Structure 1
Amino acid sequence: MPDRGAAAPARDALPFALFAGAVAVVLVVLAMLRPVDHDESQYVAAASLTARGLLPYRDYAYLQTPLQPFLLAPLVRAAGLWAWPALRIANALFAGVAVIAVAGAAMAAGAPRRVALSTAALFATTDILLFSAGTARNDALPAALLGGALWIAILAERRGSGYGAAAWVGLLLAAATATKLSYALPAGAYWLAALADRRRQPVAVMLGALPVVAFLAWTWWQSPAGFAFDVFRFPMEAPAEYYVATDRAWRLSNWAKVIDALKFLALGPALLAALVFVRERRWRRPDMLGWMMLAGLLAALLPSPTWRQYWLPLLPPLFIALALLWTRQPPQRAMRVAMAVFVVAGLAPSLAALANGPGLWRAMAESRAVGAALDRAGIAPDVPVATLSPQLLPAARRAPDPRFATGPFYFRSAGLLDRAEEGELALVSRARMPTYTPAAVLVGGEDRWTSGDPELDQAMQRWALTSGLRRVDVPRSRLRLFIR
């Protein structure tokens, strides 16, 4: 007689695998078609410079915690000219892991497979996730690490697993924090939940985090001043300086933050999922997922202004909790219709972005044209290029000048550092342009087509001209190249 008990898990595994594959394919395709965003600049630069042996904070500025450039540097070396698309694909796959982890954690917590996959699919349609998946930023990797940690934690809780699982949870949460600092709040929330319930093995969680803590300490030791400024001081001070300088101080107000929060959560089912959670009053006696959601909420609201990607730490525990709520009380027809409406709202920004055409591939062609122009001008591949758009350089077979590794984000600052401090921390601001003569300057990538500020590139162009550089023609390109 056939083993019917063995056949059922196999049948269950097949739809889960198909779901995982479909999510990965869709997110990768969207990442390949999404237009260029200037937010990608410092992340591509950091991975490229780390792949060449430079270290963040010591050799170049990196305005985040340091794990991602080290993890992705081997991918950049392997991809070569295709480093930028490869980084986008990696982020899309990280986002896919986050979605799959939500489904797996929901099933581990007791949700039926159909409910778990449905709520994970809702998570996948939020604009918060889709933007993070479609650009070469540092949002998708920590979300995947957080989702994996929740999956393991829930499995361990259900199965009574011991120190090993708890150590993995600590490692993953610490790695998420080492990728993006805002994930320190969910990591701390889990630690407090483990202290409150010793079955979660708080000592093992702490021991699992130690290798990542040691890594962070090592990167701090390389340049304590650079680490302190890039990771802590810049995020706290730079937004206020920038928005006040551009006469948009209202963006820092609490009412603007509330409006932004509602807008970003409403672009997809996250807002409705949060309302379902609040209506059920699960927040009055929060469990581990409740504490993680509260931490994610604080992680999104503490920065000013808040942006859509800041809300990503909230979503994995929120949609796992939604699956459990719907397991106990399936949604009525009105709720399903409302969710469908919010799904359309979540997909709309990505569809609108895709309507602009495959911006990545045009930018790649223009980058190759820049590389050819540099070759004709006799600029060797090992000569760094000063630009606010370093994401364009891998396809040109060039490396960014480390002093411009943050793209436009420190460059637009005015008073955070003086000239001596900028020199010490390998930074350049528009207010204090360098006195050296660069070998090559590339402009045109910090513009409206990348959601950038053209005035910043104009400052770079003035610097190139006053330094005596001559313009080199880049045929059929929006980019402008100046060489010594």
Structure 2
Amino acid sequence: MVLALAALAILFVALALLRPVDHDESQYVAATLLTAHGFIPYRDFAYLQTPLQPYLFAPLALLAGAWTWPVLRIANALLGLATIAAVHRAARIGGAGPRAAAIAAALFATCDILLFSIGTARNDALPAACLALALPAIVRTAREQASRRDALRIGALLAAAAAAKISYALPALAYGLWALFRADRRPWWTLLGALPFATLIGALFLQAPEAFLFGVLGFPGQAPTEWYQARPWKLSTAAKLVDTLKFLALGPALLAIVATTGRRHRWHLILDLLILAGLIAALAPVPTWRQYLLPMLPALFVRLALVWHAHPPGKAMRIAAVVFACAGLAPTVEAVANGGIPMRDALRTATAVRETLDRAHVTGPVATLSPQFLPGTAIDPRFAPGPFYFRSTALLDARQERQLHLVSHARIGLLGDPRAILTGGEGAWSSGDDRIDALLAAYAIRRGYQALPVPGTRFTLYVARPASPRPVPHNSP
């Protein structure tokens, strides 16, 4: 098992470095860098998630420096490994044999939902690992009287998951309600375990309530509807159903749902509740993306191990599992098969950007939709969310944007005259939209900024020209 985990760790890290750049990573890298430099989420910059990840990863940024971005990808890859190991451990505690537990964990590892989530510097791997690491204690609690240690561990890990990503609050709530029905599950000790993370969230909320509510609830609830209004199909129930089935079928998750339906012991109820809560969390936002389905998978594959231990799969089911596993691996293989090492190229680009900033003597914050390419001290806090708020039009008014440290393209005039503007990172090549970056470039040109192409890259640095000296009046003789 140790050798298998070591091999899987090497594979996951390699895939993380080979996966193409994704503009989704911008806000998570930027938030980590800003937090590492003493900025406080919500109060000093907008963060569109719950706040644990930038605080937990900030020490990595301090140690990694210019290597922060790939280090965050590697951290997520290793968190993915921990997630798989925890699923295997929970299955064994639940009574699954070594073979059934290993097969279920291996099938979990082939799900495209998981592989994408742990291959980028997003905020999916950390909460998934927290949820999965809670499962061994949850299974033990369901089968016998809970210990105080298990109750504290469950509370802390489920609260940490919710503090890293709001969708994990639903599985945490599902467990809390289940625990309340019997005193021997020690619900108050579970609550005590959750207290440190609840305190962190409460403290940050009190520092900037409006910014916190907008980042955690307002933006996720409103922005997708606004962005996809030109493509209403993506917001339809039919699209949600098609996308959900597609993402579950890219890997053995859909097969696992079919294989586990109707087969369980009484204590399996908590696993079913966690699966259902994870599914509801995935379906609540519009549209549904593959990483949204990750909260339901750890408990699902524990259930699969338990069912297959009691009722080993037949030949047809084994063949189907192989087929679905190959389908799950296919998107990752396609993504990394284009050649090159995207993270190496990204570091070279970031180095070229940094050198161009130095040559232009730019010391102030730089406005850009791609803050992940900047050193932390150069990030304009108003662009910490990358392109995701800038592309909006009417989510906030001008006063709110100023108060929440944000700028939208609809009110780009509020940007003023930053020392520099960097474009080139938001485009089709990074799963983004070139038109959004073009708006920022057009603003720089209108304001008379000097364009400095960043050598060897697709980026352009626009530098504010020094103000012309005012004419000195003189007296006529």
> Residues 381-403 of structure 1: CA distance to partner in whole angstroms, max 9, x if unpaired?
xx221110111113xx7531000
User: Which residue number in structure 2 is paired with residue 216 of structure 1?
Assistant: 201
Distance (whole Å) between structure 2 residues aligned to residue 114 and residue 162 of structure 1: 28
360, 371, 375: which one pairs with 1:377? 360
String of CA shifts for 1:97-139, please: whole Å, max 9, x gaps.
1111000100111111121111111111100000001000000
Query: Which among 147, 155, 158 is matched to residue 140 of structure 2?
Result: 155
SS, match of residue 432 in structure 1 = helix
Q: How many residues align?
A: 462
1:409 maps to which residue? 388
Structure 2 distance, partners of 1:421, 1:223, is: 12
2:435 to 429, 446, 455: 455
CA contact (8 A) 2:426 2:436 kept: yes
Does the CA-based 8 Å contact 2:263-2:307 persist in structure 1?
no
Which residue number in structure 2 is paired with residue 24 of structure 1? 9
Aligned counterparts of 1:446 and 1:398: Cα–Cα separation in 2:
21
What is the one-letter code of the residue matched to 1:388? L
1:259 maps to: 242
Residue 223 (structure 2) aligns with: 238
SS in 1 for 2:228: helix
Match of 2:422 in 1: 442
* Aligned counterparts of 2:349 and 2:193: Cα–Cα separation in 1: 45
Indicate the residue corresponding to 2:278 in structure 1: 296
Q: Is the 8 A contact 1:441 1:464 kept in 2?
A: yes
Higher mean alpha-carbon deviation, 318-327 vs 20-29, is at 20-29
Alignment of 1:311-460 (within 5 A): 311-357=293-339, 358-380=341-363, 383-394=364-375, 398-433=377-412, 434-460=414-440
Q: State the shift of 1:23 in Å.
A: 2.1
Structure 1 SS opposite 2:20 = coil
How much does 1:152 deviate?
1.9
2:189 is aligned to 204
Letter in structure 2 aligned against 1:67: L
Q: CA deviation at 1:155?
A: 3.2
State the shift of 1:367 in Å: 1.4
Please point out which of 23, 26, 50 is paired with 1:41: 26
The offset of 1:284, in angstroms, is 10
Letter in 1 for 2:297: L
Letter in 2 for 1:440: A
User: CA-to-partner distance for each residue in 1:145-178, whole Å, 9 max, x for gaps?
Assistant: 0001111222344564411210110010001000
CA deviations 1:305-328 (Å, max 9, x no partner) are 110000000000000000000010
SS in 2 for 1:79: helix
Q: Which amino acid aligns with 2:451?
A: R
Return the match for 1:470 from 436, 443, 450: 450
CA distance in structure 2 between the partners assigned to 1:449 and 1:287 by the alignment: 45
Give per-residue Cα distances to partners, 1:266-297, cap 9 Å, x unaligned.
Answer: 0000011011112x354999611011111011
Contact persistence 1:127–1:264 (CA under 8 A): yes
1:477 deviates by 0.7
The AA in structure 2 aligned to 1:353 is A
Q: Is the 8 A contact 2:90 2:139 kept in 1?
A: yes
Structure 1 residue 468: Cα displacement: 1.9
Q: CA deviation at 1:473?
A: 2.5
Secondary structure (helix, strand or coil) at the match of 2:421 reads strand
SS in 2 for 1:134: coil
1:271 counterpart = 2:250: no
8 A contact 2:369–2:426 mirrored in 1: yes
Report the AA paired with residue 90 of structure 2: A
| Matched residue SS, 1:135 | coil
Match of 2:469 in 1: none
TM-score (structure 1 length as normaliser): 0.93
Which of these residues, 124, 133, 144, is aligned with residue 129 of structure 2?
144
1:193 maps to what in 2?
Answer: 178
Deviation of residue 356 (structure 1)? 2.2
The one-letter amino acid of 1:214's match is T
The one-letter amino acid paired with 2:422 is L
Residue in 2 that maps onto 1:100: 85
Separation (CA, whole Å) in 1 of partners of 2:420 and 2:102 = 51
Q: Which residue of 2 aligns with 1:10?
A: none
* Deviation at residue 332 of structure 1 after TM alignment: 0.9
AA partner of residue 447 (structure 1): G
Equivalent of residue 134 in structure 1, options 100, 119, 124: 119
Distance 1:187 1:71, change over 3 A: same
Deviation at 1:478, TM superposition (A): 1.1
Distance across 1 between alignment mates of 2:356 and 2:275: 51
Contact 1:49 1:399 in 2 (8 A): no
1:70 matched to 2:76: no
Alpha-carbon contact 1:133-1:140 (below 8 Å) kept: yes
The alignment status of 1:118 with 2:99, answered yes or no, reads: no
Counterparts of 1:69 and 1:393 in 2: how far apart (Å)? Answer: 16
Structure 2 residues not aligned, in runs of 5+: 465-477
Q: Secondary structure at the match of 2:461?
A: strand
Shift in Å, 1:423: 0.3
Matched, 1:250 2:233: yes
CA distance in 1 between counterparts of 2:186 and 2:122 reads: 33
- Find the counterpart in structure 2 of residue 7 from structure 1: none
- 2:47 match: secondary structure: coil
Is the Cα–Cα contact under 8 Å of residues 37 and 377 in structure 2 kept in the other structure?
no
| Native 8 Å contact 2:34 2:377 kept in 1 | no
Task: Give the 3-state SS of the residue equivalent to 1:431 in structure 2.
Answer: helix
Distance in 2 of aligned mates of 1:190 and 1:422: 37
C-alpha separation between the residues in 2 aligned to 1:75 and 1:421? Answer: 32
Q: What amino acid maps onto 1:335 in structure 2?
A: M
Q: Structure 1 vs Structure 2: percent identity of aligned residues?
A: 53
